[in-house]
Homo-oligomer: A and B are copies of this chain.
Amino acid sequence: MAATDAVVGSGIKGVTRASGAGAISPGATAAAGRPRSEQTHRAILDATLALLSEVGFAALTVEGVASRAGVGKATIYRRWASKLPLVVEAFDGLPGFEETDTGTLAGDLKAMLSGYLKNFLATPLATVYPSLAAERSHNPALGEVLDPVLVGRRRPLDAALERAVARGEIAADTDLEMASDLIVGPIAVRLFFRGARIHPAMVDDMVELALHGIKRASPTTAAADESTGKR
């Protein structure tokens, strides 16, 4: 009899983490027997990232991860119910926006977005993004695992918007969630849906357009408009 080994979590369609021997708050069920190796955990996540870079999400197989990490398949399934939550957890460790405070909203956004573009969006790893988006639409349960990660990743952007409100740079009643979508949206669409590339210089124009709107989209004006509240 192979005893217990693992009881898969509450997950619908294998999206949630399997069981949690990891960083659970003390006082939980006292585990007996051999504990799960944190080293193995990392090896699996590293192998996942490596393969994501090399072959992409679609071609990523659990067997491939297992063999790359030098572990058995069961060891992976014991921790993650499927490749989805595994990828989400690996994704969570990837570089995000670099917190930046230049004093102006335009400055913050341009700095953070161009940095993110260079450090992440321009790498093969960026393709996980649309892949996870596609999966979530078929599997709503994935959202519950993915959303906290996404919110966390966009946090520096939201912080910049909040600073702009505090500074009086933008209206106090601005819908920040919508504003955040307006900044990130065009980039995501261009990159992932349309499959076009984004030249670093283009980021500045996109930020200006989002800040001043289509009705004022005059490149010359926008370029000359440096932090002046003018008009």
Report A's interface with B, CB cutoff 8 A: 56-59, 105, 126-127, 129-131, 133-138, 140, 143, 146-147, 150, 161, 169-171, 173-175, 178-179, 181-190, 192-195, 205-206, 209-220, 231
Contacts and interface: CB of A to CB of B under 8 A. Distances in A.
Nearest to A136: B195
B194 A189 contact: no
A152 to B, nearest CB: 13
Contacts of A185: 181-182, 184-190
A194 B134 contact: no
18 contacts: A57-B138, A59-B138, A105-B214, A169-B215, A170-B215, A174-B218, A175-B209, A175-B217, A178-B217, A179-B209, A182-B209, A183-B214, A185-B186, A188-B189, A210-B213, A212-B213, A213-B214, A213-B216
A190 B181 contact: yes
A171 B218 contact: yes
B131 A137 contact: yes
Contacts of A219: 173, 175
A137 B205 contact: no
Tell me which of A131, A210, A215 has the highest count of chain B C-beta atoms within 10 A of its own C-beta. A215
Given A178-B209, A210-B213, A214-B182, A133 B136 contact: no
Contacts of A171: 216-218
Given A178-B209, A182-B186, A214-B182, A195 B147 contact: yes
